[in-house]
Amino acid sequence: MSDPCFDGSESMISLEEALEFLITRARAVSEVEELDAADGLGRILAEPVVSALDVPPWDNSAMDGYAVKAADIPDKGEVSLRVSQRIPAGSLGNVLAPGTAARIFTGAPMPDGADTVVMQERCTAIRDRVSLSGPVSRSDNVRPKGNDIAAGAEILSAGMRLRPQELGLAASVGIGRLRVFRRLRVAIFSTGDELVLPGQPLASGQIYNSNRYSLLGLLQGLGCETLDLGIVADDYQATRDTLLEAAARADLIITSGGVSVGEEDHVRRAVESAGALEMWKIRIKPGKPLAFGRVGEADFLGTPGNPVSTLVTFMLFARPFILKRQGAAVVLPRTIPVSAGFSWRKPGNRREFLRARLASDGHGAPKATIFPRQGSDVLTSAVWADGLVVIPEGATVAPGDAVAYMPFAELLS
């Protein structure tokens, strides 16, 4: 695609164009560090993990019961076998003598000579004998060696974002340290003479700076190192100085507000003076103004000032950009088809992202309802919601129509 142009015109680019533009320009960090797997949650794996062993390392019992040779159990009728040994988990049994059974517990290695486990609920134990009846099939309730992982198999690939299950899988093959990409360093600041931090008194015309807390939470959720440069006055020189300071200390700069074309919106001019600005005006709602550029060696993302616009543009654009820069292989969120539990009769020329919540349609299928007020200033809508419903450009929606749903659980992690 051709490069979008930041020319002050009213032309807008599509969401897909903007994502392609951003992701192709995201330079993954190259520095790698090694850490304890217990500290790896949320980090991006820098190299594949290969198992040096089979999991399980031997055939083992899938439940508490009695290990037997299947051929010793008749298909009909009951048989009484002598219990020749007891094998708890962590112990190694002896070779099973023909015509005997071994008391065995979940996870314990199967003794040589046994090929089947009969669950204890089907057995009657009296002193040193156990009565059980068939039919049984060879390998019933037995987990074979390498059932989960074969020695030499790649169990985790480079670029994976480590969740608890990946950490557990690495530990299951004896790997306690992992090589991951270093954290991305992100500097943030907000612009606006009207902004005040919570805890301070409000003067006439002032508001509390909610975007600072939303952005910090979003970045921490993505595992970034954050540098908070606070609130910058609506002043060109102050904005430019802060951008240069941020560029010297961070990989990425994210601002809130000041990327429009008003007389007091100085971020655009400051970025153009200190570096280069490449993109803005995306055909979405909320969040049309989104700036991307470079200041020195740092990337720059300028989000809108309205709190819902900041949240939505971060989830849609900053999140995949940051994940790509962190070295992640999968960066785009999934959408889920659900039915609409609402009407939308206002077709627009921008793709809309409505704050929505899922409920049951009465038959076990998910149905989306939307918050009654969808303004970009209504942050309560994002607290009420558990995701976003996507309304394509020019579309209307009637109850029961299929709509695309993006869960916050996906967009915020």
Q: What is the pLDDT of residues 213-237, one digit of tens each?
A: 999 999 999 999 999 999 998 889 9
pLDDT of residue 259: 66
What is the band of 9 on the pLDDT scale with cuts at 50, 70, 90?
A: very low
**Residues sharing a CB contact under 8 Å with residue 212, sequence separation 6 or more, in sequence order:** 188, 190, 197, 228, 230, 231, 256
Sign of torsion over alpha carbons 409, 185, 320, 175: negative
Q: What is the pLDDT of residues 99-137, one digit of tens each?
A: 999 999 999 999 999 999 999 999 999 999 999 988 999
Task: Point out the least confidently predicted range of 3-12, 73-82, 236-245, 373-382.
Answer: 3-12
Count Cα neighbours of 268 within 13 Å in the Cβ-side half-sphere: 19
What is the band of 178 on the pLDDT scale with cuts at 50, 70, 90?
A: very high
User: N- to C-terminal Cα distance for the chain?
Assistant: 29
pLDDT of residue 1: 41
111, 93 in Cβ contact below 8 A? yes
pLDDT of residue 373: 94
Greater pLDDT, 243 or 262: 243
Strand 123-126's sheet: what is its strand order? 116-119, 65-68, 100-104, 78-87, 129-133, 123-126
Of 13, 10, 14, 15, the closest CA to residue 317 belongs to 15
Task: Point out the least confidently predicted range of 29-38, 179-188, 232-241.
Answer: 232-241
What is the band of 281 on the pLDDT scale with cuts at 50, 70, 90?
A: confident
Given a cut of 80, whether residue 284 has pLDDT beyond it is yes
pLDDT of residue 134: 85
The beta strand positions in 233-267, using DSSP E, are 252-256
| 184 to 87, 174, 223: CA distances (angstroms) | 50, 28, 8
Q: What is the pLDDT of residues 365-383, one digit of tens each?
A: 899 999 999 999 999 999 9
What is the band of 413 on the pLDDT scale with cuts at 50, 70, 90?
A: confident
Q: What is the amino acid identity at position 194?
A: E
What does the pLDDT average to over 62-90?
95
Sign of torsion over alpha carbons 264, 265, 266, 269: negative
Residue with tokens 């910058």: 232
pTM above 0.85, yes or no: yes
**Residues sharing a CB contact under 8 Å with residue 282, sequence separation 6 or more, in sequence order:** 12, 13, 14, 15, 18, 288, 290, 313, 317
What does the pLDDT average to over 328-348?
94
Count CB-CB contacts under 10 A for residue 248: 12
Report residue 68 as tokens.
Answer: 């037997």
pLDDT of residue 93: 96
Greater pLDDT, 258 or 71: 71
Q: What is the pLDDT of residues 190-209, one digit of tens each?
A: 888 888 899 999 999 999 99
Q: What is the amino acid identity at position 380?
A: T
99, 74 in Cβ contact below 8 A? no
300, 406, 182, 52: CA torsion to nearest 10: -160
Query: Can you tell me the distance from the alpha carbon of 236 to that of 275, in angstroms, rounded to the nearest whole number?
Result: 14
Query: Can you tell me the distance from the alpha carbon of 368 to that of 227, in angstroms, rounded to the nearest whole number?
Result: 37
What does the pLDDT average to over 351-357?
97
If DSSP codes are grouped into helix, strand and coil, which group holds residue 186? strand
Query: Can you tell me the distance from the alpha carbon of 7 to that of 75, in angstroms, rounded to the nearest whole number?
Result: 83
